[in-house]
Amino acid sequence: MMDNQNNNIILKLNNITKKFSGVVALKNVSLSFYTGAVHALVGSNGAGKSTLMRLVNGAIRPDSGQIIFKNKPIQINSPRLANSMGIVMINQELMLIPELSVAENILLGRLPVNKFGVVNWKEANSLARKLVNSLGADIEPTKIVKNLSVSEMQVVEISRALSKQADIFIMDEPTAALPESEVNKLVELINKLKERGKTVIYVSHKMREIFQIADNITILRDGEIVGNFEVKDINVTKVLNLMMDKKKENGVIKKKNYEIGSILLSVKHLKRRGIFQDINFDLYSHEIIGLAGLVGSRRTEILHSIFGLAPFDSGEIILNGKKISRITPEKMINYRIGFIPEDRRKQGLVTGMSVKDNLMLVSQRFISKVGILKLFQEIKICNSIRKELDIKAPSLRVEVSTLSGGNQQKVVIGKWFATKSKIFIFDEPTRGIDVGSKNEIFNIMKRFANEGAGIIFVSTEIEELLIVSDRIITLKSGRKTGEFLKKEVTLDIIMKFI
């Protein structure tokens, strides 16, 4: 496949395998990365991209296989070691010091000093300026980092890596937080890195960018490499087909075709300055709406504003015909809305509490009498939830963090069972979960809908949305770009709108 590379191989992965608690995250992955090239890494959530990145970055170690860096087999034991060897990761969590200047961040810990340890600011600033300019950007070295824009911060972080002679730059969804206008700057920057012979490993969902920037592309699915091409030899459709697994449709209940029922929720002209605007949609009973969009489309922010976790500046939220003001999560729960959040461990579950306590955390307000818990009833309810959702746990009393990812997610969903909710919001419910559990979760969603609930479903995997939803709403950079019935669209069409 890759036969015209004049560049050298800087990093080679040989038969890498990695398992987490028995679940295989990467299987026999072999891959080469070249100097002066941009290598895109694509795959749906759970395909193994982040595991691969973390391996290269030193955050985790492979169970078997070899990593060969600059022709030498090595063990990358920690991110700090990776850093010092020249492998740097740039992700959403920028590793910058907000109160210090650009120059200080770039030269972190290595400010030029005289023999007394006093900093030579002139030299520091000029060094910083040179590095920033070499990336095609122009930022005052004395500016305080917290006042910079996101793309400027990225420049600073990349400059720091450059100043430490980094050779490999791993970029994880770098354009997710960037406004459209800044994306070009990043593209330029990456080209400059290429000119200097650096390697960029580019992880993203955005096909357009990938085909703009990347030289090579590797497609992962379920922990294995299903394709390894030079970008010029392939197109978007082939990539998407390789990414998705057609077999997913098996084992999923077909949804009964009810007449779509009454309007449960209406969102009108919802706006939050700088985040999203003019969001309109209606949710009917017996239906599932899929919100499609890339990372950065602000779907989660919209959902948070609807549920009362974040404010919004204008617009209306109407439940069962009544406009709701001063929205809080408590209120929305009393109105029978359930929210399954994106971050299972931090937002969906209270780690440290038992399965039972987690399951009852929300429903307790509806079950308890005068605030006193009805223990026997609770145990009955928990057992029935456990059976219905097939939650595999040694006992209801164990700490919820001891369960597997899929079972944890079931607990998060089970939290809302006894609330008799009519509206459910699922924000990325299948992230990091094995295929079997994913299907179970889809079935649960369909069951709810069959029983009369309205569901809003967010996922970055368009295929999932297509399987489960009745309608799909596309969002891009905080704006609604389209609304379709499932039977009207295909994957390609959706991709155009996000």
Partner 1 sequence: MTEIQIKNRKNNNRDYIYLLSSFLKENIVWIVVAVFFIIFSIIFPTFFSERNLLNLARRSFVVGIMAIGMSFAMISGSFDLSVGATMGLTTVIVIQLQPSNLLSMVIAILVGLSIGLLVGLVNGLLVGRAGTNSVIATIGISFVVLGINLIYTRGNHVWIQDIYKGFEFIGAGSIGKFPFPAAIFLFIIIVSQFVLRLTKFGREIYSTGASKECSIFSGINVDVITLKCYLISGFTASLAGVVTAARVYNVDPTFAVGTEFDVLTAVLIGGVSLFGGKGNAINTAGGVFLFVMINNIMTLSGMNLETQSMVKGVLLVIIVSVYSLFREKSG
Partner 2 sequence: MNKSIFKFLNKYKVMVILVIVFIISSVIDKNFLTLNNIKNILLSVSTDGTIAVGMTIIMITGGIDLSVGAMVALTSVVVIIYQLKWGSWVGVLIAIAIGLIIGLFNGILVGKIKVNPFITTLGTQTFVFGLALRLSGARAIMGNDPNFAYLASRPILGIPFGFIVFLIVVIFSDFLLIRTRFGRNILAVGGNPEACRLSGLIVNWYVVLAYVFGSFTAVLGGIILTSRINAGSTNIIGNTLINVIAAVLLGGTSLTGGSGRPINTLFGILIIGIIGNSMNLKGVGGFAQTIIIGFILIIVMLLDSLSKKATRVLS
**Where on the chain is the footprint of partner 2 (CB under 8 A)?**
79-80, 83-84, 95-100, 104, 108-109, 111, 113, 116-119, 160, 164, 300-301, 304, 309-310
Among partner 2, partner 1, none, residue 99 binds (CB under 5-8 Å by kind): partner 2
Min dist CB 368 to partner 1, Å, is 5
In angstroms, rounded to a whole number, what is the distance separating the alpha carbons of residues 413 and 445? 10
Q: Environment class of residue 121 by beta-carbon count within 10 Å: exposed (0-12), middle (13-18) or buried (19+)?
A: middle
- Bridge partners, 454 (sequence order): 287, 423
Judged by beta carbon, residue 106 or residue 385, the one nearer partner 2 is 106
Among partner 1, partner 2, none, residue 328 binds (CB under 5-8 Å by kind): partner 1
In angstroms, rounded to a whole number, what is the distance separating the alpha carbons of residues 326 and 408? 32
Min dist CB 464 to partner 2, Å, is 23
- Sign of the C-alpha dihedral, residues 176, 180, 184, 189? negative
Min dist CB 365 to partner 1, Å, is 6
Among partner 2, partner 1, none, residue 259 binds (CB under 5-8 Å by kind): none
Between the alpha carbon of residue 395 and those of residues 21, 170, 341, 385, 410, the distances in Å are 19, 42, 24, 13, 15
Min dist CB 448 to partner 2, Å, is 24
Q: How many CB atoms lie within 10 A of CB 323?
A: 10
**Closest-CA residue to 45 (of 434, 402, 474, 470):** 434
Judged by beta carbon, residue 9 or residue 108, the one nearer partner 2 is 108
**Closest-CA residue to 31 (of 57, 69, 60):** 69
Among partner 1, partner 2, none, residue 339 binds (CB under 5-8 Å by kind): partner 1
DSSP per-residue letters across 324-335: --S--HHHHHHT
* AA letter at 408: Q
Min dist CB 79 to partner 1, Å, is 16
In angstroms, rounded to a whole number, what is the distance separating the alpha carbons of residues 477 and 273? 12
- Give buried/exposed letters for 152-182 (b at 16+ CB in 10 A, else e): bbbbbbbbbbbbbebbbbbbbbbbbbbeeeb
Among partner 1, partner 2, none, residue 253 binds (CB under 5-8 Å by kind): none
DSSP 470: S
Min dist CB 164 to partner 2, Å, is 8
Judged by beta carbon, residue 229 or residue 426, the one nearer partner 1 is 426
Under 8 Å CB-to-CB from 464, ≥6 apart: which residues? 248, 290, 430, 438, 442
Min dist CB 341 to partner 1, Å, is 5
Among partner 2, partner 1, none, residue 329 binds (CB under 5-8 Å by kind): partner 1
Under 8 Å CB-to-CB from 387, ≥6 apart: which residues? none
Min dist CB 376 to partner 1, Å, is 12
Judged by beta carbon, residue 380 or residue 496, the one nearer partner 1 is 380
Min dist CB 328 to partner 1, Å, is 7
Cα-flanking dihedrals φ and ψ of residue 290, to 5°? -100, 130
Between the alpha carbon of residue 3 and those of residues 34, 230, 304, the distances in Å are 12, 9, 49
Judged by beta carbon, residue 96 or residue 217, the one nearer partner 2 is 96
Judged by beta carbon, residue 187 or residue 310, the one nearer partner 2 is 310
Judged by beta carbon, residue 397 or residue 496, the one nearer partner 1 is 397
* AA letter at 468: V
Among partner 1, partner 2, none, residue 321 binds (CB under 5-8 Å by kind): none
Write down how long the chain is.
498
In angstroms, rounded to a whole number, what is the distance separating the alpha carbons of residues 387 and 432? 23
Tokens of 85: 């060897």
Judged by beta carbon, residue 117 or residue 436, the one nearer partner 2 is 117
In angstroms, rounded to a whole number, what is the distance separating the alpha carbons of residues 175 and 99? 24
Among partner 1, partner 2, none, residue 116 binds (CB under 5-8 Å by kind): partner 2
Judged by beta carbon, residue 284 or residue 339, the one nearer partner 1 is 339
Among partner 1, partner 2, none, residue 373 binds (CB under 5-8 Å by kind): partner 1
Judged by beta carbon, residue 389 or residue 458, the one nearer partner 2 is 458
Among partner 1, partner 2, none, residue 372 binds (CB under 5-8 Å by kind): partner 1
In angstroms, rounded to a whole number, what is the distance separating the alpha carbons of residues 75 and 82? 9
Contact set with partner 1 (CB under 8 A): 309, 328-330, 332-334, 339, 341, 346-353, 357, 360-362, 364-365, 368, 371-373, 375, 394-395, 397-398, 415
Min dist CB 496 to partner 1, Å, is 34
Min dist CB 406 to partner 2, Å, is 25
Judged by beta carbon, residue 55 or residue 214, the one nearer partner 2 is 55
